[in-house]
Amino acid sequence: MKKRNKITEAISAIFIFLFVYTALSKIFTFNLFSKALKETPLIGGIATYIAFLLPAVELTVSLLLLIPRTRRLGLYSTFALMLVFTLYIGYMIIFTPQRPCTCGGVLEKMTWTQHLIFNIFFTILSFTAILMNPRK
């Protein structure tokens, strides 16, 4: 059981780093991030709300993952976020010829296909952490 806890902690740490990094990147480049969201067909109309909400959600999920008592909720939240991000990227690849990048930092250097593969991997990783962290 301890091995599972260590693996879950390691996966949680990876997601804490990922979410804090991307949230801070969005915050520090807020105007660019907000502008790119406004150009996105799916969420252009609510871009301002998303621009404020998304970094806050990423930081909140990071906090949930950090605290052992809330880690399970954090893992479910992580899975939900990664699933939504993955579906969004899949939609953009299939249906949107002009795709503004709303990612932050190093992630914006990836192609959309690379980003989709990255997200699929991390979605599976988050689901794995949930399976390894059974309800007590």
Sequence-separated (6 or more) residues with CB below 8 Å from residue 25: 103, 104, 105
**96 close to 15: Cβ distance less than 8 angstroms:** no
Domain ranges of the chain: 2-132
- Angstrom distance (rounded) from CA 79 to CA 82: 5
Which residue, among 84, 31, 38, has the nearest Cα to 57 in the 3D structure? 84
Q: How many CB atoms lie within 10 A of CB 117?
A: 14
- Angstrom distance (rounded) from CA 75 to CA 103: 21
Q: What does the pLDDT profile of the chain (136 residues) look like in tens digits?
A: 688 788 999 999 999 999 999 999 989 989 988 888 888 877 878 988 999 999 999 999 999 999 999 999 999 999 999 999 999 889 888 987 776 666 656 677 788 889 999 999 999 999 999 998 877 6
